Structure 1
């Protein structure tokens, strides 16, 4: 008597109503994927390419803000960076933030 006809009809719900309640969640996930996750994965791939392409003579900036010149590239994930004349430090490759100036590829 006090229940409106619209409310009484909605109680039957069914499978269509359950799927319709998940559509907004699916849309939110899709938007988050294209706006946040996918660009971040692209940025990580570009950083890996940059780090793999490091060679002797490149001017680099580390994540800690140290600016230096690559002196030696090692196979074990490290590089030697000269930060002042005669002052060399070993740096993990993945901590290189940017490459300021690249050297020309060796011809041969």
Structure 2
């Protein structure tokens, strides 16, 4: 009855193993892909330049006519120009090239 010795070291490993496994699964399935998307979005926003055709988060399609550190002016048609925060650009539908400007 008193002869059995408790094995304290191996019990903690078995107790923590499921939590470590769950954290690893969450990291590789949720956290890491989100960080990758944020990095790609930041690179896309930093690469914006005049003449790029963009779509905003609200669905507005237009061409960048002016750009600053915080804002972009999007030309919708020949008359209409709208100012947006740089972060409201959702994606770039076509990049401008030097041959298009010439």
Greater alpha carbon shift after TM alignment, 45-54 vs 13-22 = 13-22
Q: Which residue does 2:86 correspond to in 1? A: 93
> Which among 9, 22, 30 is matched to residue 36 of structure 1?
30
RMSD: 2.0
Tell me the CA shift for residue 12 of structure 1.
3.3
TM-score by length of 1: 0.81
Q: Which residue does the alignment assign to 1:73?
A: 67
TM-score with structure 2 length normalisation? Answer: 0.85
Q: Name the residue aligned to 1:59.
A: 53
Number of residue pairs matched by the alignment = 97
In structure 1, C-alpha distance between the alignment counterparts of 2:31 and 2:80, rounded to whole Å: 40
Task: Name the structure 2 match of 1:45.
Answer: 39
Segments of structure 2 that go 5 or more residues without pairing to the other structure are none
